[in-house]
Amino acid sequence: MAPNTLTLIFLLSLAVFSITNVTKGSDPDILTDFVAPPGSNSVDGTFFAFNGLRYIFDSDTPATFNVSKASMKEFPALNGQSVSYAVLRYPSGSVNPTHTHPRASELLFVVEGSLEVGFVDTTNKLYTRSLQLGDMFIFPKGLVHYQYNADAKNPATALSAFGSASAGTVSLPATLFNTSIDDTILATAFKTDVATIQTLKAGFAAKA
Ligand X SMILES: *[C@@H]1O[C@H](CO)[C@@H](O)[C@H](O)[C@H]1NC(C)=O
Tally of helices (H runs) and strands (E runs) in the chain: 4, 10
Smallest distance, ligand X to C-beta of residue 103, A: 20
Alpha carbon distance 31, 192 (integer Å): 52
Residue with smaller CB distance to ligand X, 27 or 91: 91
Query: 3-class DSSP state for residue 42?
Result: coil
Residue 80 gets which letter from DSSP? T
Is residue 17 involved in binding ligand X (CB under 6 A)? no
Q: Taking CB under 6 A as the rule, does residue 98 contact ligand X?
A: no
- Quick one: 21 or 51, whose CB is closer to ligand X? 51
Q: Is 106 annotated as a binding residue?
A: yes
DSSP 57: G
Residue 99, annotated as binding a ligand: yes
* 68: Cα separation from own chain's centroid: 12
> Does the annotation place 101 within a ligand binding site?
yes
What residues have CB less than 8 Å from 171, skipping those under 6 apart? 97, 98, 99
The minimum distance between CB 42 and ligand X, in angstroms, equals: 32
Sign of CA dihedral 133, 134, 135, 140: positive
**136 vs 174, beta carbon nearer ligand X:** 174
178 annotated to a ligand binding site: no
Asked if residue 172 binds ligand X (CB under 6 A), the reply is: no
Among 26, 66, 81, 98, binds ligand X (CB under 6 A): 66
114: amino acid identity, one letter: S
Binding-site positions for oxalate read 96, 101, 106
Q: Write out the residues near ligand X by the rule CB under 6 A.
A: 62, 66-68, 174, 178, 204
